[in-house]
Structure 1
Amino acid sequence: MSTDDSTRTGTADRGAESRGDDGTARSLRVVHVESDEEFATLTDAYFRRSYPEIELVHADGVADALTAARSGVDCVVTDHRPPLTDAAEVATAVGRVDDGVPVVALSGALDDLDDVAGVDGTISKRHGLDALDALVRTVSRATATDGTEPSGSS
């Protein structure tokens, strides 16, 4: 898991809040399993546009995603084929820790989207910036506790 600047929290007025079990607001925490650093940086920017206070945790694979899931996350976003694993394995492992955590898979190959066991949503990277907009909407729906979407999403 990255421990440098890739795990960070923004500080804007509006933003990523979900509700804890006690009803109090808390920041949205998303784990992103992605080996392509350029794509991860672009994805971060899209999340921050809609969720300025989001906490993004970058994971290098299943072990890092599990470490983050054990400490509490709202969603896991994973490349369909991160190094040495796949999205189905990430989803299965995260589900064993907390079966309430949604997992969204991103894929650069269109045929990968047909059958990804255990994930709550799939998005093709081939759709460029539209894919990132769709990712933000998918995570918003998957993590919403009050039925609202974040500022800036459409």
Structure 2
Amino acid sequence: GQGQGQPRSNGCSYADSPHHVPIQRMANVSLQPAAEDIATADLIGRVENGIYIVGDKSWSIDMQRYNFQFTGQRFFRIRDGRLDGQLRDVAYQATTTDFWNSMEAVGGESTWRLGGAFNCGKAQPGQVAAVSHGCPSALFRGVNVLNTRTEGGR
């Protein structure tokens, strides 16, 4: 398979200060690159009509970590395996299981990047923590994409 995973859970919990109760948190998770060095351009070349999303900007995920919506920093239309101009007001949404089951391919080691956030919020009262996740470029099929300007009623 594409991902080998770990033989057992490495779950964790911690608090953002000694004054708060520890809460369940996911460990920092990274997506392993392909063994062969597949370039981002090769993944784009497999797409007839799609969107290339670079980076992350905003995110919303329910308390069960099942339904989510994310935006990126930059968006490009893909037509006939090539980038064809920038887009704006793009978001994508899915359920966690549908999203990961829609992954078709990952890029090689040269496409792998480490990203993170200093403000991953959770719990009531709220606690924040820094998280990091690394991943190569990846190709997903059939993910629901929104135009946030028109979907938002503007």
Could you state the TM-score of these two structures normalised by the residue count of structure 2?
0.25
Which structure shows the higher helix fraction? 1
